[in-house]
Amino acid sequence: MTVIVRDLRPADRTDAEGFARIRSLALPYMLSTPESVAYDITHAHPDGRNRSLVAERDGEPVGTAQIGVVYDSPEPGQGFLNVYVHPDRTRLGAGSALVRAAEEYLTALGATKLFAWVLDAPENRAFAERHGYRARRSAHFLRLDLAHGTLPPLQELPPGVELRTAADFADDPRPLFDLDAETTTDEPSDIAHEFTDYDNWLGETWRHPLFSPELTSVAVVDGRPAAFSAARTDGGRRYGTVMTGTGRAFRGRGLAKLAKNDSLHRARAAGLTEAFTGNDSGNGPMMAINKWFGYDICATEVRYVRELG
Protein backbone atom coordinates (compact mmCIF):
# COMPACT_ATOMS: atom_id res chain seq x y z
CA MET A 1 0.00 0.00 0.00
CA THR A 2 1.70 3.15 -1.29
CA VAL A 3 1.74 6.62 0.18
CA ILE A 4 1.63 9.41 -2.38
CA VAL A 5 2.16 13.13 -1.73
CA ARG A 6 0.34 15.80 -3.72
CA ASP A 7 -0.68 19.43 -3.43
CA LEU A 8 -3.87 20.39 -1.65
CA ARG A 9 -6.68 21.34 -4.00
CA PRO A 10 -8.03 24.44 -2.21
CA ALA A 11 -11.02 24.81 -4.51
CA ASP A 12 -12.12 21.26 -3.64
CA ARG A 13 -14.26 21.48 -0.50
CA THR A 14 -13.77 17.79 0.30
CA ASP A 15 -10.00 18.13 0.03
CA ALA A 16 -9.95 21.18 2.32
CA GLU A 17 -12.20 19.36 4.81
CA GLY A 18 -9.81 16.40 4.91
CA PHE A 19 -6.82 18.68 5.47
CA ALA A 20 -8.59 20.59 8.25
CA ARG A 21 -9.76 17.38 9.91
CA ILE A 22 -6.23 15.95 10.09
CA ARG A 23 -4.87 19.23 11.45
CA SER A 24 -7.61 19.41 14.08
CA LEU A 25 -7.01 15.81 15.20
CA ALA A 26 -3.23 16.11 15.31
CA LEU A 27 -3.18 19.66 16.67
CA PRO A 28 -6.49 20.37 18.42
CA TYR A 29 -5.12 23.47 20.15
CA MET A 30 -5.07 25.55 16.94
CA LEU A 31 -8.22 26.57 15.11
CA SER A 32 -8.64 25.18 11.62
CA THR A 33 -11.58 25.05 9.23
CA PRO A 34 -11.90 24.11 5.56
CA GLU A 35 -12.37 27.79 4.76
CA SER A 36 -9.22 28.82 6.62
CA VAL A 37 -7.18 26.03 5.02
CA ALA A 38 -8.19 27.14 1.52
CA TYR A 39 -7.74 30.81 2.38
CA ASP A 40 -4.25 30.34 3.81
CA ILE A 41 -2.87 28.80 0.64
CA THR A 42 -4.69 31.03 -1.85
CA HIS A 43 -3.77 34.26 -0.03
CA ALA A 44 -0.18 33.49 0.95
CA HIS A 45 2.43 36.01 -0.17
CA PRO A 46 3.83 34.86 -3.53
CA ASP A 47 7.42 35.38 -2.37
CA GLY A 48 6.85 32.77 0.34
CA ARG A 49 6.42 30.06 -2.33
CA ASN A 50 4.01 28.35 0.06
CA ARG A 51 2.53 24.93 -0.59
CA SER A 52 0.09 22.78 1.36
CA LEU A 53 0.76 19.07 0.84
CA VAL A 54 -1.48 16.06 1.43
CA ALA A 55 -0.24 12.51 1.95
CA GLU A 56 -2.68 9.83 0.75
CA ARG A 57 -2.65 6.10 1.39
CA ASP A 58 -4.95 4.13 -0.88
CA GLY A 59 -6.86 7.32 -1.62
CA GLU A 60 -7.33 8.28 2.04
CA PRO A 61 -5.78 11.55 3.30
CA VAL A 62 -3.54 10.59 6.23
CA GLY A 63 -1.09 13.47 6.60
CA THR A 64 -0.52 17.15 5.83
CA ALA A 65 2.36 19.59 5.53
CA GLN A 66 2.59 23.34 5.21
CA ILE A 67 5.85 24.48 3.66
CA GLY A 68 7.49 27.62 2.31
CA VAL A 69 10.40 30.01 2.55
CA VAL A 70 10.78 32.86 5.03
CA TYR A 71 10.62 35.64 2.46
CA ASP A 72 10.43 38.54 4.97
CA SER A 73 13.60 37.74 6.92
CA PRO A 74 16.88 39.63 6.43
CA GLU A 75 18.63 36.24 6.55
CA PRO A 76 18.26 34.41 3.23
CA GLY A 77 17.95 30.66 2.77
CA GLN A 78 15.44 29.87 5.51
CA GLY A 79 12.52 27.53 4.96
CA PHE A 80 9.84 25.89 7.08
CA LEU A 81 7.91 22.64 7.08
CA ASN A 82 5.24 21.67 9.57
CA VAL A 83 4.10 18.08 9.18
CA TYR A 84 1.09 16.48 10.89
CA VAL A 85 -0.20 12.93 10.50
CA HIS A 86 -3.62 11.56 11.45
CA PRO A 87 -3.14 10.11 14.97
CA ASP A 88 -4.62 6.76 13.86
CA ARG A 89 -2.47 6.55 10.71
CA THR A 90 1.04 6.92 12.07
CA ARG A 91 3.92 4.56 11.22
CA LEU A 92 2.65 4.08 7.67
CA GLY A 93 5.29 6.23 5.98
CA ALA A 94 3.19 9.37 5.51
CA GLY A 95 5.38 11.58 7.70
CA SER A 96 8.61 10.54 6.00
CA ALA A 97 7.08 10.97 2.55
CA LEU A 98 5.94 14.50 3.43
CA VAL A 99 9.35 15.42 4.84
CA ARG A 100 11.10 14.16 1.69
CA ALA A 101 8.78 16.07 -0.61
CA ALA A 102 9.08 19.23 1.48
CA GLU A 103 12.88 19.10 1.68
CA GLU A 104 13.23 18.49 -2.05
CA TYR A 105 11.06 21.48 -2.81
CA LEU A 106 12.70 23.84 -0.30
CA THR A 107 16.26 22.93 -1.20
CA ALA A 108 15.44 23.50 -4.88
CA LEU A 109 14.45 27.04 -3.85
CA GLY A 110 17.83 27.54 -2.21
CA ALA A 111 16.88 26.95 1.42
CA THR A 112 19.82 25.90 3.60
CA LYS A 113 18.19 26.07 7.04
CA LEU A 114 14.86 24.34 7.64
CA PHE A 115 12.63 24.97 10.67
CA ALA A 116 9.85 22.70 11.93
CA TRP A 117 7.51 22.66 14.92
CA VAL A 118 7.15 19.20 16.51
CA LEU A 119 4.73 18.23 19.28
CA ASP A 120 6.69 17.26 22.38
CA ALA A 121 6.22 13.48 22.47
CA PRO A 122 9.04 10.89 22.43
CA GLU A 123 7.99 9.38 19.12
CA ASN A 124 7.69 12.79 17.44
CA ARG A 125 11.06 13.99 18.68
CA ALA A 126 12.71 10.72 17.65
CA PHE A 127 11.18 11.08 14.18
CA ALA A 128 12.58 14.61 13.79
CA GLU A 129 16.02 13.59 15.00
CA ARG A 130 16.15 10.59 12.65
CA HIS A 131 15.65 13.03 9.81
CA GLY A 132 18.57 15.20 10.90
CA TYR A 133 16.72 17.90 12.87
CA ARG A 134 17.95 19.29 16.19
CA ALA A 135 15.91 20.96 18.93
CA ARG A 136 16.17 24.73 19.39
CA ARG A 137 13.48 26.01 21.76
CA SER A 138 9.96 25.23 22.92
CA ALA A 139 6.54 26.81 23.19
CA HIS A 140 3.34 25.91 25.03
CA PHE A 141 -0.28 25.64 24.02
CA LEU A 142 -2.66 26.76 26.76
CA ARG A 143 -6.37 26.17 27.28
CA LEU A 144 -8.98 28.01 29.34
CA ASP A 145 -12.46 26.68 30.11
CA LEU A 146 -14.65 29.68 29.31
CA ALA A 147 -17.87 27.83 30.05
CA HIS A 148 -17.06 26.76 33.60
CA GLY A 149 -13.99 28.75 34.59
CA THR A 150 -13.95 32.07 36.41
CA LEU A 151 -12.47 35.04 34.62
CA PRO A 152 -10.93 37.92 36.55
CA PRO A 153 -13.45 40.76 36.83
CA LEU A 154 -13.23 43.63 34.38
CA GLN A 155 -11.03 46.31 35.89
CA GLU A 156 -11.57 50.03 36.09
CA LEU A 157 -9.71 51.76 33.28
CA PRO A 158 -6.84 54.11 34.12
CA PRO A 159 -7.28 57.78 33.22
CA GLY A 160 -6.82 58.41 29.50
CA VAL A 161 -7.35 54.74 28.56
CA GLU A 162 -10.34 53.35 26.73
CA LEU A 163 -11.13 49.92 25.33
CA ARG A 164 -12.34 49.50 21.78
CA THR A 165 -12.61 46.58 19.37
CA ALA A 166 -10.82 46.10 16.09
CA ALA A 167 -14.20 46.58 14.41
CA ASP A 168 -13.97 50.25 15.42
CA PHE A 169 -10.96 50.55 13.07
CA ALA A 170 -12.70 49.01 10.05
CA ASP A 171 -12.43 52.21 8.01
CA ASP A 172 -8.67 52.48 8.62
CA PRO A 173 -6.94 49.48 10.23
CA ARG A 174 -3.46 50.89 9.55
CA PRO A 175 -2.88 51.90 13.22
CA LEU A 176 -3.51 48.27 14.23
CA PHE A 177 -1.03 47.07 11.63
CA ASP A 178 1.61 49.45 13.00
CA LEU A 179 1.01 48.16 16.54
CA ASP A 180 0.99 44.51 15.43
CA ALA A 181 4.23 45.00 13.48
CA GLU A 182 6.00 46.58 16.44
CA THR A 183 4.95 43.96 18.97
CA THR A 184 5.55 41.01 16.64
CA THR A 185 9.09 42.23 15.99
CA ASP A 186 9.75 42.01 19.75
CA GLU A 187 8.30 38.51 20.14
CA PRO A 188 10.77 35.71 21.06
CA SER A 189 11.73 33.93 17.84
CA ASP A 190 14.61 32.14 16.16
CA ILE A 191 13.77 33.81 12.84
CA ALA A 192 14.05 37.57 12.36
CA HIS A 193 11.20 39.13 10.37
CA GLU A 194 10.88 42.50 8.68
CA PHE A 195 7.19 43.21 9.21
CA THR A 196 6.53 46.04 6.74
CA ASP A 197 3.99 44.82 4.16
CA TYR A 198 0.64 46.42 5.01
CA ASP A 199 -1.22 44.98 2.02
CA ASN A 200 -0.06 41.48 2.89
CA TRP A 201 -1.16 41.99 6.51
CA LEU A 202 -4.61 43.01 5.28
CA GLY A 203 -4.87 39.74 3.37
CA GLU A 204 -3.27 37.33 5.84
CA THR A 205 -4.55 38.86 9.09
CA TRP A 206 -7.30 41.44 8.78
CA ARG A 207 -9.42 39.60 6.19
CA HIS A 208 -8.65 36.09 7.41
CA PRO A 209 -11.87 34.04 7.79
CA LEU A 210 -11.04 33.10 11.39
CA PHE A 211 -10.23 36.65 12.53
CA SER A 212 -12.86 38.26 14.76
CA PRO A 213 -12.73 42.09 14.80
CA GLU A 214 -15.62 42.13 17.29
CA LEU A 215 -13.70 40.02 19.83
CA THR A 216 -10.31 41.66 19.26
CA SER A 217 -9.86 44.23 22.00
CA VAL A 218 -7.67 47.32 21.71
CA ALA A 219 -6.50 49.54 24.57
CA VAL A 220 -6.35 53.12 23.29
CA VAL A 221 -4.37 55.85 25.06
CA ASP A 222 -5.14 59.44 24.09
CA GLY A 223 -6.57 58.21 20.80
CA ARG A 224 -3.62 55.97 19.92
CA PRO A 225 -3.79 52.15 19.93
CA ALA A 226 -1.40 51.09 22.67
CA ALA A 227 -2.12 47.39 23.32
CA PHE A 228 -4.30 44.71 21.80
CA SER A 229 -5.41 41.10 22.00
CA ALA A 230 -6.20 39.61 18.59
CA ALA A 231 -8.91 36.94 18.51
CA ARG A 232 -9.93 34.19 16.14
CA THR A 233 -12.96 31.89 16.22
CA ASP A 234 -13.82 28.74 14.29
CA GLY A 235 -17.51 29.50 13.78
CA GLY A 236 -18.41 27.14 16.63
CA ARG A 237 -17.57 27.41 20.31
CA ARG A 238 -13.79 27.73 20.13
CA TYR A 239 -11.82 30.96 20.47
CA GLY A 240 -8.11 31.58 20.10
CA THR A 241 -5.85 34.48 21.02
CA VAL A 242 -3.22 34.67 18.28
CA MET A 243 -1.33 37.74 19.49
CA THR A 244 -1.37 39.95 22.57
CA GLY A 245 1.04 42.82 22.82
CA THR A 246 1.79 46.37 23.90
CA GLY A 247 3.58 49.13 22.03
CA ARG A 248 7.02 49.92 23.40
CA ALA A 249 6.04 53.36 24.65
CA PHE A 250 3.20 51.95 26.75
CA ARG A 251 4.71 48.91 28.43
CA GLY A 252 4.63 48.31 32.17
CA ARG A 253 1.13 49.72 32.62
CA GLY A 254 -0.91 46.50 32.43
CA LEU A 255 -2.59 47.45 29.17
CA ALA A 256 -2.16 44.04 27.49
CA LYS A 257 -3.85 42.42 30.47
CA LEU A 258 -6.74 44.92 30.21
CA ALA A 259 -7.18 44.19 26.51
CA LYS A 260 -7.01 40.42 26.86
CA ASN A 261 -9.43 40.38 29.79
CA ASP A 262 -11.89 42.47 27.80
CA SER A 263 -11.59 40.11 24.82
CA LEU A 264 -12.11 37.02 26.99
CA HIS A 265 -15.23 38.52 28.57
CA ARG A 266 -16.56 39.37 25.12
CA ALA A 267 -15.89 35.81 23.96
CA ARG A 268 -17.72 34.29 26.90
CA ALA A 269 -20.67 36.65 26.43
CA ALA A 270 -20.82 35.54 22.79
CA GLY A 271 -21.28 31.92 23.90
CA LEU A 272 -17.78 30.62 23.22
CA THR A 273 -16.74 27.86 25.59
CA GLU A 274 -13.03 27.13 25.01
CA ALA A 275 -10.14 29.55 24.76
CA PHE A 276 -6.70 28.67 23.42
CA THR A 277 -3.47 30.60 23.22
CA GLY A 278 0.24 29.95 22.86
CA ASN A 279 3.41 31.12 24.60
CA ASP A 280 7.10 30.77 24.00
CA SER A 281 8.34 28.85 27.04
CA GLY A 282 10.85 31.63 27.72
CA ASN A 283 8.25 34.41 27.72
CA GLY A 284 7.79 34.60 31.49
CA PRO A 285 5.71 37.81 31.62
CA MET A 286 3.08 36.49 29.19
CA MET A 287 3.02 33.09 30.88
CA ALA A 288 2.30 34.87 34.19
CA ILE A 289 -0.53 36.86 32.61
CA ASN A 290 -2.13 33.73 31.16
CA LYS A 291 -1.82 31.92 34.49
CA TRP A 292 -3.63 34.88 36.10
CA PHE A 293 -6.47 34.37 33.63
CA GLY A 294 -6.66 30.66 34.53
CA TYR A 295 -5.07 29.10 31.45
CA ASP A 296 -3.42 25.69 31.84
CA ILE A 297 -0.70 24.25 29.62
CA CYS A 298 -2.27 21.54 27.46
CA ALA A 299 0.62 20.68 25.12
CA THR A 300 4.15 21.70 24.21
CA GLU A 301 5.84 22.11 20.84
CA VAL A 302 9.56 21.97 20.18
CA ARG A 303 11.19 24.01 17.44
CA TYR A 304 13.59 21.90 15.40
CA VAL A 305 16.08 23.04 12.78
CA ARG A 306 18.12 21.27 10.14
CA GLU A 307 21.06 23.03 8.55
CA LEU A 308 21.99 21.78 5.08
CA GLY A 309 25.33 21.85 3.32
- Domain end position, chosen among 86, 111, 136: 111
Is 131 part of a structural domain of the chain? Answer: no
- Domain end position, chosen among 111, 133, 155: 111
Query: How big is the chain, counted in residues?
Result: 309
Model confidence at 1, pLDDT cuts 50, 70, 90, reads low
152 and 76 in one domain?
no
Q: What is the Cα–Cα distance from 124 to 103, expressed in whole angstroms?
A: 18
User: In terms of Cα–Cα distance, which of 232, 230, 231, 233 is closest to 245?
Assistant: 230
159 and 293 in one domain?
yes
288 and 148 in one domain?
yes
CATH number at residue 296: 3.40.630.30
- Please state the rounded mean pLDDT for residues 29-48: 96
- Please state the rounded mean pLDDT for residues 211-225: 97
262 and 182 in one domain?
yes
Domain with 47 in it? 3-111
Cβ partners under 8 Å of residue 172, min gap 6 = none
Is 126 part of a structural domain of the chain? Answer: no
225 and 176 in one domain?
yes
Q: What is the Cα–Cα distance from 152 to 148, expressed in whole angstroms?
A: 13
- Please state the rounded mean pLDDT for residues 11-20: 97
284-293 vs 255-269: helix crossing angle, rounded to 10: 40
- Please state the rounded mean pLDDT for residues 41-54: 96
Q: What is the Cα–Cα distance from 175 to 39, expressed in whole angstroms?
A: 24
Q: What is the Cα–Cα distance from 253 to 300, expressed in whole angstroms?
A: 29
289 and 164 in one domain?
yes
Total tally of structural domains belonging to the chain: 2
* pLDDT above 90: residue 74: no
* pLDDT above 90: residue 185: no
Is 130 part of a structural domain of the chain? Answer: no
Provide the residue type at 141 as one letter. F
79 and 12 in one domain?
yes
* pLDDT above 90: residue 23: yes
295 and 150 in one domain?
yes
Q: What is the pLDDT of residue 286?
A: 86
149 and 96 in one domain?
no
Q: State the average pLDDT for the chain.
A: 95
99 and 172 in one domain?
no
